[in-house]
Amino acid sequence: MHRHDTRGHEEVREAGASRWLLRFTRAERSIHHVTALLMLVCLLTAALLYLPVLSTLVGRREMVKTVHVWCGFALPVPIVLGLLSRAFRADLGRLNRFAPHDWEWLRRGDRRAVQGGRGILPVGKFNAGQKLNAAFTAGAILVMLGTGEIMTFPDPWGDRWRTGATFVHDWLFLAVVVVTAGHLWEALRDRDALTGMLTGRVDRRWAARHHAAWGDSEAPGEPHSTEPRGSGTHGAGTHGRHRGGT
């Protein structure tokens, strides 16, 4: 009787484990979280420095400026260090590839429709919106870094360079605010996607609905991971949603 109970518990554990897919490794999540924190600090300090309605509230502008500059120069660091991670490099490759179904995803109004528990488009690990967001963010970081360097060390540069850098830096700041707000909105409205970024794991049923091709490509059973077995089983979201992906 004891053996039967033990075998039954093992089957339950295996079934629970096979329900989850490893979406992001610990290294990938760390890269995302540190980059996001640096970006948010940059946006907040920029708003405090340059928006009149907020700038009057700041008493120590030089300190705020110093924090802004240092966080700005640090923005590429997590990404560069992330290149040491094989999983991160693999995901960069996925983000840089645009397949025919990605263009179809952008064109179709029913891009997130689900039929029979599966998305109607064969979306891979990242959808076209996520790929465009990643491309914009990477480009924005590089442009902000370059223009910020000219603004921080203006002496070697002529007036036209300094004026142009300030113009681009200020307007790109507004664009980054809009894109970041949209990214956060999409993340917060899809609890399963948010769980994937926080814990590293997602429900297979969510993957079938929003990233069907990627879910199919993952081998059944326990995902290969060096993290604790139960690290991704908290905060599973509602499975009836037809919209998702951040």
- Asked if residue 241 has pLDDT above 90, the reply is no
Residue 52 tokens, joined: 């009149």
Instruction: Please write down the HEC assignment for all residues of the chain.
Output: CHHHHHHHHHHHHHHHHHCEEECCCHHHHHHHHHHHHHHHHHHHHHHHHHCHHHHCCCCCHHHHHHHHHHHHHHCHHHHHHHCCCHHHHHHHHHHCCCCHHHHHHHHCCCCCCEECCEECCCCCCCCHHHHHHHHHHHHHHHHHHHHHHHHHCCCCCCHHHHHHHHHHHHHHHHHHHHHHHHHHHHHHHCHHHHHHHHHCEEEHHHHHHHCHHHHHHCCCCCCCCCCCCCCCCCCCCCCCCCCCCC
Give the C-alpha separation, 23 to 125, whole Å. 8
Q: Residue 21 — φ and ψ, nearest 5°?
A: -115, 140
- pLDDT of 4: 47
- Residue-wise pLDDT tens digits, 160-185: 999 999 999 999 999 999 999 999 99
What pLDDT score was predicted for residue 220? 55
Torsion angles phi and psi, residue 218, rounded to 5: -80, 135
Residue-wise pLDDT for 115-156, tens only, equals: 888 988 999 999 999 999 999 999 999 999 999 999 999 999
Q: What is the pLDDT of residue 242?
A: 40
With a pLDDT cut of 90, the percent of the chain lying above it is 63
> Does pTM top 0.85 for this prediction?
no
pLDDT for residue 219? 53
- Domains along the chain? 22-218 (1.20.950.20)
More confident residue, 18 or 152: 152
Statement: residue 234 has pLDDT above 50: no
